[in-house]
Structure 1
Amino acid sequence: MIDTNDLYEVPLDNVRWHKSSYTANNSNCVEMAAVPGLPAIAIRDSKNPEIPALRSGTDQVRSFIRALAADTLVEA
């Protein structure tokens, strides 16, 4: 598991952001980028890139996306 402090110490200035393929023309979309040097993903709102990106381990992001696709998210 990645330490949260490590996730947020890595600058994202030169990462390549990828926009969701489900983006519509209404500007409601997310972008994702690999966190350099860590097995982690950064996620941000493309309309507000100045707001700090959410960061999480790659495995956790994959599990979240699988749960979304399978409609199996459960309330905690």
Structure 2
Amino acid sequence: MPDKNELSNQTIPEAAWVKSSFSGAGSGGDCVEVAKIQGGRALRDSKNPDGPKLFFTDGEWSSFILGVRAEEDGLV
């Protein structure tokens, strides 16, 4: 499994970034973008694409998604 340094050292093509379907609606264009990378995902603020990025391993990303879904279902 890659560590955070390995994830953050990857080159992420601009075309890899996808805007969240929940971003922008009624919030003045606040957007989060995610890119699938080898071994995980990267997140960035679309208003600051050259700024800091968050990196998640595949396991961390799965846990994050499960947590979001549990919150949406009122399980948390």
TM over 0.5: yes
Match of 1:7, SS state, is helix
Query: TM (normalized to structure 1)?
Result: 0.76
Which structure shows the bigger proportion of residues in helix conformation? 2
Higher relative contact order (CA 8 A, sep 6+): 2
Partners of 2:15 and 2:41 in 1: CA distance: 11
Aligned-residue identity in percent: 37
TM-score (structure 2 length as normaliser): 0.76
What are the within-5 Å matches in structure 2 for residues 3-14 of structure 1?
3-14=3-14
Cα deviation for residue 15 of structure 1 reads 4.6
Could you tell me which runs of 5 or more consecutive residues in structure 1 were left unpaired when the two chains were aligned: none
Count of residues in Structure 1 that have an aligned counterpart in Structure 2:
70
CA RMSD of aligned residues (A): 1.7
List per-residue Cα deviations over 1:32-52 (Å, max 9, x = no partner). 0012xx221000111111112
